[in-house]
Structure 1
Amino acid sequence: MDKKQRILWGGATASSQYEGGFTDSKGLDTQDCRAYLPRTSNATEETRLLTKEKIEEAKRLDSGKYYPFRNGTKGFEHLEEDIEYLDELGLDLYRFSISWARLFPNGVEEVPSPEGVAYYDRVFNLLTEKKIKIFLTLNHYAMPIYLVEQYGGWKGRECIEHFMRFATFVFERWGNLVEYWLPFNEINAGYFSPFNGVGLLKGENGFDLSDVFQALHHQFVASAKTIKLAREMKLPGRFGSMIACFCYYPLTSRPEDNLKLVFEEQMNQWYCMDILSKGEYPYYAETFFENKNIVLNITDEDKKLLKENTCDFVSISFYTSSVITVEEADKTAGNLVVSTKNPYLKASEWGWQIDPVGLRTSLHKVYERYGKPVIVSENGLGARDVLTENGEVHDEYRIDYMKSYYEQAQLALEDGVPLEAYIAWGIIDIVSAGSCEMDKRYGVIYVDADNLGNGSYKRYKKDSFYWYKDFIQKYKEQNNG
């Protein structure tokens, strides 16, 4: 590999967390049904493990609850302004997602909503005019609620056909403008966060694991089908797969801790990417399925599709590392998961342990396992920012975080890992996908809104905005543009 390869620096949002624009022309999706709950020990779990009753409540206009994803941070209204900010930052690329329900309100329509098409025409045209490369996520934790009610979410094979109609339209309309494609965001979240990942509702006894893994299988097939179609259409962009990456450590040198780590890492972290990158189910899945009484319907055609349509690159979200032990130990929060506390790491206010060296370690592991170019498609610090009276946000803690992670990313590149891009998550403040709140901010651009949707939604540049702009400019100068 050429050691002089330059990392592309970017920023990201997700349609459900950013856009808002909840109108009659946009259908209700899974994220629109998640209510804000004041932060308690179990609030995050309640907002992402929804039941049929919670969905019915969300559909009522008189529920009395606030549904923050219906507002997002009003990117629908501030689009031109926000893209000007992205251009001023000097971003190489912008990762965003398309709302399935904005184009196809129920997910089953034969033709898309004209209003939805017009909005995304604006997005693509503005980014193209600014010469900002596009990293497009087709499905980022949001599917039309009709598909959940009609087919049980992704456990229904019918969703593949409807997703392909959605993907086909996107390919035909905007396919030549996209540099990087991602069919599904953090696909392994379907296992540890089934409502977000695969649209499953929680029953009286929780989730049936056969349903969870059947739903994941249908997403694997849909991913392979989109890649196959794009290649047949000769689209210029490349296709990736993405997992939430956790960099597992054993708490002690006790052999049982390390053995448990192997098993946890296999199913939580590697399972989905093994299939999407290598084209077949891994050896350990069969034993796991037998032990858990999981029965799947996998056809020979499915196997052929997976084998012949693997991803071109692998991408990861990386925020925090996890500690594994067979003993009882103090716990802390993470990216939709709970982990054992690491005594060597500091944590954010939300309990996410800060581990830049863990990122470098993970980049090595991912490349060693898959041998394909790597992209960090999400990373950032969720923190409570304060807007001063003169419209400033002094977030030196975020600057320190970015410095430490970006340094380790560049060291991984020097080590020989072909890291193509690094994308800052929530480049503009967005509603937190984990906790449904605004207090937990990631952006370098502040949005004046609170947890209940109050505020002007006016944008302000944080100190981290100026730091990131300067970092990108200097990086380009040092690496020949």
Structure 2
Amino acid sequence: MKKILWGGATSSSQYEGGYHLDYKGLDTQDCRPYFPRTTHSTTQTRLLNKQIVNQAKAYQGVGNYPFRQGSDGYHHFQEDIELLKELGIDIYRFSISWARIFPNGDEKYPNEIALQYYDQMIKQLKEANIKIFITINHYAIPLYLIEKYDGWKNRQMIDYYFRFAKVLLDRWKDDVDYWLPFNEINAGYFSPYNGVGLMKDNDEDYNQSEIFQSLHHQFVASAKVIEYGHQHVKGQFGCMVASFCYYALTPKPEDNFKLIQDENYYQWFCMDVLSRGYYPTYMRRFFLEHHIDINVTQSDEELLLQHTSDFISFSYYSSSVVAAKAADQTAGNLVSTIKNPYLNATKWGWQIDPIGIRVTLNQFYNRYQKPIIIAENGLGSQDVLELDKTVHDLYRISYLQEHFQQIQEAQNDGVDIIAYCLWGIIDIVSAGSCEMEKRYGVVYVDANNEGEGSYCRYKKDSFYWYQKFIENYHQ
């Protein structure tokens, strides 16, 4: 049986900071404000309108915009990669800031200073014998493209994105092992500002046709990247969705049919297109009943069919419960769900379900028969830095231990697993709640929700546990 690659992951917008350095332009994540949390809901942090974005543009500092500071990785990346080397990980997933490479997004030529920053990261990772997994676009879209072109609902975005992606592919064609065109591409459906850059005028509902037209343009862009990559690049290319591992609340037929519908629309649709190469039949009725009309050309259909993903990937944090009728809700990864009485939950309401990752791995592999990378998994928690600069996160160790056991059980089930990436392996700003307090890493970053702190790095107890796990696994 082949060995799983054990690693970690971050994203540029949550990790780097340096939002105004070396000609970087503003992006959509730079404009997301932090709101002190009063409930599990994170809706107000991700459904932004023009007024909120204009306020962000007018503000010329970090202030209440934590993604502008991130974990200050722009100044700490060398130290951080040394920590990853000491940890002993096999693979590191990170994303490239589109607005750092093309500050507005529609320039003809890239920002060379920004490319050199990533050159240094890639060189140091290769010297550490850590495999490289690059996400080309992880939510953050140059704000100029949103304001001038209306985001991904405009077909011109395919060309601007491909220009960006081609620069990366050409420059690091021999260095990167795995490429991912879009992070959690299905987020465009349930989090349109993050996923496809749609910005509302006020608080009106999103136009569903615009959402699915935007997603279609991302599908085409992904296929174009895979087409070019297979011709010019040695690495493998994947697709990714946020996964939810749905359970029906009861054995009632109505609840179980609702499960099928939610799986189709939220979880399977995008991956069906990108992994199989065509629109699934179940979307015909959905489009008809929701009055969704999108433009799909014959050349689009041919491109999608001919250039599907080499591997599939997903994020998994917790499972979800569905029912035909409303019931008591709790939080999840960008979406809410019904509470599961058989599971414990984090302070943020996310239900902890290790067996769910085994279920998910089996479901995805049985459906697509393609190798899998677990692109994100981890526990967001409120860690405490003690006076002696230690962090005793036994709860995270327990979470990882239980999930790793289920991952290996899934491999014994016959699932072809390439790699596991621990999300936010170095503490980053949470994408869901826009706060540093919700920590995922095995490395603690000394900063609070307001961007105050030394930003020094400290190894948590989970660092040493994960280090020993990887060492023992490869013996």
After TM superposition, the score normalised by the length of structure 1 is 0.97
* Structure 1 CA distance for aligned equivalents of residues 354 and 2 of structure 2: 21
Partners of 1:57 and 1:349 in 2: CA distance: 30
1:43 Cα deviation (Å)? 6.1
State the AA in 2 paired with 1:227: I
Residue matched to 2:366: 368
State the distance in 2 between where 1:142 and 1:62 align.
Answer: 19
Output the CA distance in 2 between the equivalents of 1:256 and 1:79. 51
Letter in 2 for 1:394: H
Q: Percent identity?
A: 57
Render the CA deviation track for 1:404-437: whole Å, top value 9, x for unaligned. Answer: 0000000000110001111100000000000000
Partners of 2:439 and 2:144 in 1: CA distance: 31
1:236–1:62 Cα change, 3 Å: closer
1:70-109 deviations in Å (ceiling 9; x for gaps): 1000000001100000000111000000000000000011
- Structure 1 residue aligned with 2:19, among 22, 39, 49? 22
Instruction: Give me the whole-angstrom Cα distance separating, in 1, the residues matched to 2:290 and 2:149.
Output: 24
* Partner residue, 1:223: 222
CA RMSD of the aligned region, Å? 1.1
Q: Deviation of residue 302 (structure 1)?
A: 0.4
1:407 aligned residue: 405
Match of 1:472 among 467, 470, 473: 470
- CA-to-partner distance for each residue in 1:99-138, whole Å, 9 max, x for gaps? 0000000001111112211211111111111111000000
Range that drifts further, 166-175 or 195-204: 195-204
Shift of 1:455: 0.2
Question: Quick one: which amino acid aligns to residue 8 of structure 1?
Answer: L
Task: Name the counterpart of 2:135.
Answer: 137
For 2:247, give the aligned amino acid: Y
Q: Which of the residues 415, 421, 430 maps onto 1:432?
A: 430
Which amino acid in structure 2 is aligned with residue 431 of structure 1? Answer: V
Deviation of the 1:52 alpha carbon? 0.9
The residue identity in structure 2 corresponding to 1:7 is I
- Per mean C-alpha deviation after superposition, the further-off stretch among 201-210 and 313-322 is 201-210
* Conserved 8 A contact 1:246-1:322: yes
Tell me, in whole angstroms, the C-alpha distance in 2 between the residues paired with 1:269 and 1:219: 16
Question: Separation in 2 of the partners of 1:88 and 1:100?
Answer: 30
**Contact residue 92 and residue 133 of structure 1 kept, 8 A:** yes
Please say if residues 63 and 450 of structure 2, whose CA atoms lie closer than 8 Å, have aligned partners that are also in contact.
Answer: no
Q: 1:5 pairs with 2, 13, 21, which one?
A: 2
Contact 2:40 2:348 in 1 (8 A): no
Residue among 276, 279, 294 paired with 1:278: 276
**Residues 215-245 of structure 1: per-residue CA shift (max 9 Å, x gap):** 0000000000000011121x11100100111
Q: For residues 214-363 of structure 1, what are the structure 2 equivalents within 5 Å?
A: 214-233=213-232, 235-363=233-361
Question: What is the distance in 1 between the residues matched to 2:188 and 2:367?
Answer: 22
Count how many residue pairs are aligned between Structure 1 and Structure 2.
473
Q: Is the 8 A contact 2:41 2:331 kept in 1?
A: no
Map Cα deviations across residues 169-196 of structure 1 (whole Å, 9 max, x no partner): 1011112101111000000010011011
Q: Measure, in 2, the Cα distance between the counterparts of 1:125 and 1:458.
A: 23
Distance 2:381 2:403 in 1: 16
Maintained 8 Å contact 2:329/2:337: yes
Q: Aligned-pair distance for 1:8?
A: 0.5
- 1:40 is aligned, of 38, 41, 54, to 38
Candidates 194, 197, 202, aligned match of 2:195: 197
Q: 1:147 aligns with which of 130, 145, 150?
A: 145
Q: Contact 1:36–1:65 at 8 Å: present in 2 too?
A: no
Identify the residue that residue 182 of structure 2 maps to in structure 1: 184
**CA separation in 1, counterparts of 2:289 and 2:305?**
26
In structure 2, distance between residues paired with 1:33 and 1:151: 18
Q: Is the 8 A contact 1:276 1:311 kept in 2?
A: yes
Return 5+ residue gaps in structure 1 as ranges: none
What is the deviation of 1:255? 0.5
SS of the residue corresponding to residue 110 of structure 2 reads: coil
Matched residue type, 2:443:
I
Structure 2, gaps ≥5 residues long: none
- CA contact 1:37–1:43 (8 Å) conserved in 2: no
SS in 2 for 1:175: coil
**Cα displacement (A) at 1:203:** 3.7
SS of the counterpart of 1:177? coil
- Amino acid of the structure 2 residue aligned with 1:188: N
What SS does the aligned partner of 2:89 have? coil
In structure 2, C-alpha distance between the alignment counterparts of 1:9 and 1:46, rounded to whole Å: 34
Give how far 1:63 is off: 8.9
CA distance in 2, matches of 1:328, 1:168: 46
Distance of 2:263 and 2:201 partners within structure 1: 27
Is residue 57–residue 63 contact of structure 1 (8 Å, CA) maintained in 2? no
What TM-score do the two structures reach when normalised by structure 2?
A: 0.98
